Chains A and B, each alone.
Chain A
Amino acid sequence: MSAIRLRGLIRKEFLQVLRDPSSIAIAFLMPVLLLLLFGYGVSLDPAHVPVAFVVEQPSAATAQFTGAFRRSQYFQVVPMADMPQAEAALMAHRVDGIVRLRADFAARLKDGGDAPIQVLVNGVDANTARIVQGYVTGVWGNWLEHYAQSQGQELQPPAELRTRVWFNSALRSRNYIVPGLIVVIMTLTGGLLTAMVMAREWERGTMEALMVTPVSMREVLIGKLVPYFILGMGGMVLSVVVALWLFEVPLRGSVWVLVATSSLFMLVALAMGLLISIVARSQFVAGMIALVVTFLPAFLLSGFIFDIGSMPTVVQWLTHIVAARYFIAILQSVFLAGDVWSVILPNSLALIIMGGLFLLLIRRSARKRLE
């Protein structure tokens, strides 16, 4: 390996990057754009959910109950005259749920008759429906306590659940979405940046030109990796800065663990892109494969949004070949919990194995020869 040749290759790659600003857009514009969109735009926490209230016979008790919902930040109470009207509103997506207090609510409440409160939700978006049901139960529990107090009784449920949420006590979904998003962005930048580069050389015929020069394949590969590694890590640093200062996600682990694991993951992502590039030979196919194996798996199969443990066993097994999965586990811990070595070490090891495997495959398939 010669340092001069390598420097020449890296310089050439940098010039190419600078002359086609789309690489820079991928490395810097996309992370910021995505972080802003996700950080501000994406939330799994419903707020001000419009809920229709059908109170068949208003009384002091029903007013107290409705008042508990009015005070909650989660709901927006929409009073409706009767069930048909409320059902029409639910059909038209004007409200996300219906709460109905029957005519005998106050009376049954008084003689301890276990008064029913009917709750209807639109089940199409099942996740939101479930969260809304949970909120309704929460408001109901608070109201019950107030009600018992106002009757001069003490509410004594047999088992009283006291919950404590570690690492993210307010259950702010942004705190787990932002670290996950950084992983998705890095998979995208790493994979996309490199996926096109080798395929482009083949397609434009410059690969043959490179082959007749004294450069070795290893130099070509390193010459491709180094510039995009620098570009990708620049995007990573930018993302972390945005996460910490704009979104106020806590960083409880140490910075050097963050840097070390990020560099490791960046290498794996770049190696994956390079492998795609070598296998595909044409930019169209390389682009297509990069699209298929980077964004959606990192989004859906990594535990970023969907819980891996709840997937069927075969799919769970499949998630092990998604590099993003390991890095998400690491980042969520480093950001929210701290340097938890029992999470960081096994996942880093998995990343090292994957990276090594990719590099091996690249070495095997990238030969200096013409077909």
Chain B
Amino acid sequence: MLQRVWALLIKEFLAVLKDKRSRVVLVVPPLIQTLVFGYAATFDLNDLSMALYNEDPGVAARALVADFEGSPHFHVTHTITRQEQIETLIDSREVLLVLHIAPDFSRELVAGRSGPVQLIVDGRNSNTAQGALNYANEIVLRFNREWNAANGLRALPAHIESRAWFNPNLLSRWFIVSGLIGTLIMLVVMNVTAMSVAREREQGTFDQLLVTPLTPLDILLGKSLPGLIIGVVEATLMVLIVVYWFDVPLRGSLWTLYAGVVLFLFSAIGAGLLISSLATTMQQALMGSFLFMVPSIILSGFATPIANMPEPVQMLTLIDPLRYFMVVLRGVFVEGASFSLMLPQLWPMALLGLVSLSFSAWLFRHRLN
């Protein structure tokens, strides 16, 4: 049996790798994507373009303006002098926000009263707007504390001291980059496996394969092992990029990480083969894997938290293998989670893989048309 599987394995590798273009598209894009998306995919907001509309020549206004100018989150690109300019700048998206300080701001402050500051934000991208509002709030709160202290005024009765665990600077890159490993190897491996049976069906060689002495188990192994090997190699390359290029800490053990990688690949291959055995042409296989992959990426918690989804959708995420792998990746990389802490994530992937593989083995035999 070993010999038969070996022969099929070699044949499968030849089918995927004999063409130079196939070799290139398997290896190069995922690595480039890890690099590009690693930089691009960040929720951290820097240099948000803003305009200043300061009508107050006083000291307090100047100090507040300096606080905004000094923040890494904002970049003052325009200074305006008329109300009408606000609309033009925001409508055309030249600036995201406008800070308006009224003429009597400093006077009010010196007199011990509150001086209003107006902030106008473009809400077209609500997440960026929310982030910008939070940063602006922080700056104004700090300004107030400093103003009170400098002028001998009573401080506010209470203040907040905030700290973040595991990621003190709240770099979203750690979160996204570790998640990218799962997303990208899923794309590659599912495509390799989904195409493998569909290609044989389209070319009519699958029926020939079925009449050889190969058992369904042999075919299953021969079809899944290439994906597993390609997946493990690519995952390793990506882990190296994530750790050595992006400096994401790898706090947990490699064993836990690789247990996650292998089990995730197992379940992804299962899904890929299932799609493959249902499809009769390569186009159907590609469409099928897309219809599976896009929702699984969206529902995995890769970019948006599962906890924000409504209850029925959260239930649906339970059959998404990528969901579990995301927790493993982030747990092992950032939190340093132990193997036993990750166990609740590992067994569902094994189960999903087992179910989908057995079903596709059954389909090999029972779908001859």
Task: Report the Cα distance A277→B99, complex, angstroms.
Answer: 50
- Indicate whether A115 sits within 8 Å of B158 (C-beta atoms), given known contacts A127-B172, A305-B127: yes
Decide: B158 and A114 in contact? CB cutoff 8 A. Answer: yes
Q: Which residue of A lies closest to B154 (CB)?
A: A112
Is B122 touching A167 in the complex (CB atoms < 8 A)?
yes
The segment out of B258-266, B293-301, B348-356 that lies at the interface is: B293-301
How long is the Cα–Cα vector from A285 to B134 in the complex, in angstroms? Answer: 45
B244 sits at the interface (CB 8 A): no
- Does B257 sit within 8 A of A, measured CB to CB? no
Q: Does A239 interact with chain B (Cβ within 8 Å)?
A: no
- 1/0 per position for A285-313, CB-CB distance to B under 8 A? 10111111001100111010111011110
Contact assessment for A119 and B25 in the assembled complex, using a CB-CB cutoff below 8 Å? no
Does B215 sit at the interface, judged by CB under 8 A? Answer: no
B369 at the interface (CB under 8 A from A): no
**Interchain CA distance A96-B266 in the complex, whole Å:** 31
A 25-43 contacts with B by CB, 8 A: 25-26, 29-30, 33-34, 37-38, 40-43
B283's partner among A22, A40, A91, A312 (CB-CB below 8 A) is: A22
Q: Is B335 an interface residue (CB 8 A)?
A: yes
B191 pairs with A171, CB closer than 8 A: no
Q: Is the CB of A158 within 8 A of B162?
A: no
Best-buried of A91, A164, A175, A307 by chain B (most CB within 10 Å)? A307
| Segment among A44-52, A225-233, A360-368 that sits at the interface with chain B | A44-52
Contacts of B109 in A (CB 8 A): 158-159
Contact status B166-A122, CB under 8 Å? yes
Map CB proximity to A onto B43-56 as digits: 1 under 8 Å, 0 otherwise. Answer: 11111110000000
Q: From residue 28 to 53 of chain B, which have CB atoms closer than 8 A to chain A? A: 29, 33, 36-37, 39-49
How far, in angstroms, from A130 to B303 measured CA to CA in the complex?
A: 15
Contact A165 B60 (CB under 8 A): no
B363 is an interface residue with CB less than 8 A from chain A = no
The verdict on A282 contacting B21 (CB below 8 Å), with A159-B147, A162-B118 known, is yes
Is B334 part of the binding interface, using a Cβ–Cβ cutoff of 8 Å?
A: yes
User: Bound complex: CA of A162 vs CA of B133, how far in Å?
Assistant: 10
Output the least CB separation between A339 and chain B (Å): 10
Q: Which residues of A contact B213 (CB under 8 A)?
A: none
Contact: A284 with B199, CB < 8 Å?
Answer: yes
Q: Which chain A positions have C-beta within 8 A of B49?
A: 309
The reply to whether the CB of B171 lies closer than 8 angstroms to some CB of chain A is yes
Alpha-carbon gap, A287 to B172, bound state (A): 31
Cβ contacts under 8 Å, A30 to chain B? 290-291, 294
Give the docked Cα–Cα distance between A49 and B308 (Å).
9
Interface presence of A67 (CB below 8 A): no
Chain A neighbourhood of B58, CB < 8 A: none
Q: In this assembly, does B217 line the interface, its C-beta being within 8 Å of a C-beta of chain A? A: no
**Interface residue A14 (Cβ < 8 Å from any Cβ of B):** no
Q: Does A121 contact B (CB under 8 A)?
A: yes
Q: Which residue of B lies closest to A346 (CB)?
A: B92
Contacts A26-B290, A127-B43 given; does A136 touch B165 at CB 8 Å: no
**Judging by beta carbons under 8 Å apart, are B33 and A292 in contact?**
yes
Contact A157 B114 (CB under 8 A): yes
Q: How far is the CA of A291 from the CA of B291 in the complex (A)?
A: 12
Residues of chain A from 118 to 151 with CB closer than 8 A to chain B in the complex: 118-131, 133-134, 136-137, 140, 144, 147-148
Query: A283, B283: Cβ atoms under 8 Å?
Result: yes
Q: Which residues of A contact B47 (CB under 8 A)?
A: 309-310
Is there contact, CB below 8 Å, between A288 and B25? Answer: yes
Given contact pairs A33-B295, A305-B127, A166 touches B43 in the complex (Cβ within 8 A): no
Cβ 8 A contact of A161, one of B22, B96, B117, B307: B117
Task: Give the CA-CA distance A218 to B284 in the complex, in Å.
Answer: 27
User: Contacts of A144 on B, CB cut-off 8 Å?
Assistant: 156-158
CB A56 to nearest CB in B, in angstroms, measures: 15
The binding surface of chain A is classed by DSSP as helix
Q: Is the CB of B130 within 8 A of A171?
A: yes
Complex partner residue of A46 from B45, B167, B307, CB under 8 angstroms = B307
Interface of chain A residues 161 through 194 with chain B (CB within 8 A): 161-169, 171-173, 175-176, 188, 192
Q: In the assembled complex, which residues on chain A have CB atoms less than 8 Å from the CB atom of B41?
A: 300, 305-306
Does A280 have its Cβ within 8 Å of any Cβ on chain B? yes
CB distance from A259 to the nearest CB of B (A): 21
Assuming the contacts A127-B43, A303-B125, A307-B128, asked whether A114 and B155 have C-beta atoms less than 8 A apart, the reply is yes
A164 vs B125: C-alpha distance in the bound complex, in angstroms? 14
Chain A residues with Cβ under 8 A from B170's Cβ? Answer: 123, 126, 129-130
Q: Which of A77-85, A261-269, A328-336 contacts B (4 or more CB under 8 A)?
A: A328-336
Residues from 111 to 160 in B contacting A, C-beta threshold 8 Å: 112-131, 133-134, 136-138, 140-141, 143-144, 147-148, 153-160
Contact at B44–A126, with CB atoms within 8 Å? yes
Whether a CB of chain B sits under 8 angstroms from the CB of A117 is yes
Q: Are A192 and B304 in contact (CB under 8 A)?
A: no
Contacting A at CB under 8 A, from B192-219, are 195, 199
- Decide yes or no whether A350 CB sits under 8 A from chain B: no
Contact between B22 and A284, CB atoms less than 8 A apart: yes
Is A348 positioned at the interface, with any CB of B under 8 Å from its CB? no
A15 contacts partner chain B, Cβ-Cβ < 8 Å: no
- The residues of A that contact B124 with a CB separation of less than 8 Å are 167-168, 176, 332-333, 336-337
Distance, CA A299 to CA B41, complexed state (A): 10
In the complex with contacts A25-B287, A124-B335, A159-B144 CB distance below 8 A: yes
**Alpha-carbon gap, A34 to B282, bound state (A):** 22
Check A237 for interface membership: any CB of B closer than 8 A. no
13 A-B contact pairs sorted by A residue (CB < 8 Å): A26-B287, A120-B164, A161-B136, A163-B120, A166-B90, A168-B123, A282-B19, A283-B283, A292-B33, A299-B303, A307-B128, A310-B42, A343-B92
Other contacts beyond A43-B309, A140-B160, A159-B105: 15, CB < 8 A: A33-B291, A40-B310, A40-B313, A42-B308, A114-B155, A133-B134, A160-B117, A188-B290, A281-B21, A292-B29, A305-B127, A306-B40, A307-B43, A314-B39, A342-B91
- 6 nearest A-B residue pairs (beta carbon): A123-B167, A123-B164, A168-B123, A342-B92, A134-B134, A127-B43
Which residues in A have some Cβ–Cβ distance to B below 8 Å? 20, 22-23, 25-26, 29-30, 33-34, 37-38, 40-47, 49, 90-91, 96, 105, 109, 112, 114-131, 133-134, 136-137, 140, 144, 147-148, 155-169, 171-173, 175-176, 188, 192, 196, 200, 280-285, 287-292, 295-296, 299-301, 303, 305-307, 309-312, 314-315, 318-319, 329, 332-333, 336-337, 340, 342-343
